[in-house]
Amino acid sequence: MSVVAVLVVCSAAMVGSVKVADMEQGSEFTKCVSITDLQTKTIDDDITLIDRVGTCCPAGSVPGVKHTTKYDGAQIVCGFKDDGTVALSTGSSNGNKTCTYNKCYVMKQNIPCKDATKQRLNGCCGAKPQTNFDAQCKFYDSSFSNAYSEKTQYCTTYDKDYGTKGYAGTTAKTDDVADGKLQVDKLYVYTPCPGNAVGGGGSGGAAATSAGAGSGSETHTSGAGTPATSLLALCMFVAGIVGFA
C-alpha cells in the first residue's frame, strides 16, 4: 500500500473514533453530535464530533439534550449556567439561526437495559416506544426539535421506588458546576435507576446486577493492542516517514 493510501485510510479511520466513554465524567462538551449517533450509539460506540457553526449546531446534529430538572436522562446534557440554573433556546434572526445552549457536559450513566445492552446517548434503551428498560427503571419518552426543526428523541429516567429511596445530590444549584466541570453527584435528581454510573441507584433486575454501577465505562482508556491504538501508531509512523522524506 502506498504512503498516500495509508494516509487516506488513517484520515478516514480517525473520523468518528471518539467514544464518550473515554471522555472525563463531568467534562465540558463543546462540539455537536449527529441526531443519529445520539439516538443509536452508547458511550462505548464510536461517534463523529461535529463543529458548531456560529452559535448553533448544523442541520442533522445537536449539542446534547437540555437537562431536565430532577431527572437523569441523556449522557450529554446542556443548558447549564455557571450558577447551576438551566436554560436553552434556539431561534432565527434575519434568516440566521441563533442558539443559546449555555454549557453542555458529559454525564455518563450507562444504565443497563432489559436485554443486557446499555442505554443510548439520548438516555433511552431503544427506539420509541420504549420497551427495553429494566422493570425497576421508570422513564419518560420525549423529544425536542433543534434549530432546524428536526425532531430528536430522548428519555428521562428514575428509580421505580424513588418515593421511599429519596433523592440523589444536593438541593443547592450553586454546587452543580465547579472548576469548569459538572459535578454529577451534586445534581438533585430522583433516585437514579439501578446500575447508573453516577451512583445512587439501588439493586434492581438481572441486567443491573450483572453490570454494576459504572461497570465498563472507562474500558477504553487502558490496555494495548486495540485496533484504534494500533492504527494511531501506524498513522504516526507513516507521518514521521513523510516528514523526513
71 close to 159: Cβ distance less than 8 angstroms = no
Q: 84-88, 141-145, 182-186, 231-235: which range is least confident on average?
A: 231-235
Of 242, 163, 224, 185, nearest in space to 2 by CA:
242
Q: Looking at residue 210, what is its pLDDT?
A: 29
Q: Is the pLDDT of residue 241 over 80?
A: no
Q: Looking at residue 17, what is its pLDDT?
A: 72
Q: What is the pLDDT of residues 48-76, one digit of tens each?
A: 999 999 999 999 999 999 999 999 999 99
Q: Is the pLDDT of residue 203 over 90?
A: no
pLDDT band (50, 70, 90) for residue 234: very low
- Which residues, in sequence order, are CB contacts of 201 under 8 Å at separation 6+? 111, 159, 191, 192, 193, 194, 195, 208, 213
Report H helices in the chain. 3-14, 35-40, 162-165, 206-211, 227-244
Q: What is the pLDDT of residues 83-132, one digit of tens each?
A: 989 999 999 888 899 999 999 999 999 999 999 999 999 999 999 999 99
Mean pLDDT of 209-232: 32
Q: Is the pLDDT of residue 47 over 80?
A: yes
Q: Looking at residue 95, what is its pLDDT?
A: 81
Q: Name the pairing type of β-strands 65-66 and 76-80.
A: parallel
Q: CA-to-CA distance for 120 and 127, rounded, in angstroms? A: 10
Q: 2-11, 78-87, 89-98: which range is least confident on average?
A: 2-11
pTM: 0.76
Mean pLDDT of the chain: 81
Q: Looking at residue 200, what is its pLDDT?
A: 57
Q: CA-to-CA distance for 31 and 136, rounded, in angstroms? A: 33
Mean pLDDT of 199-220: 35
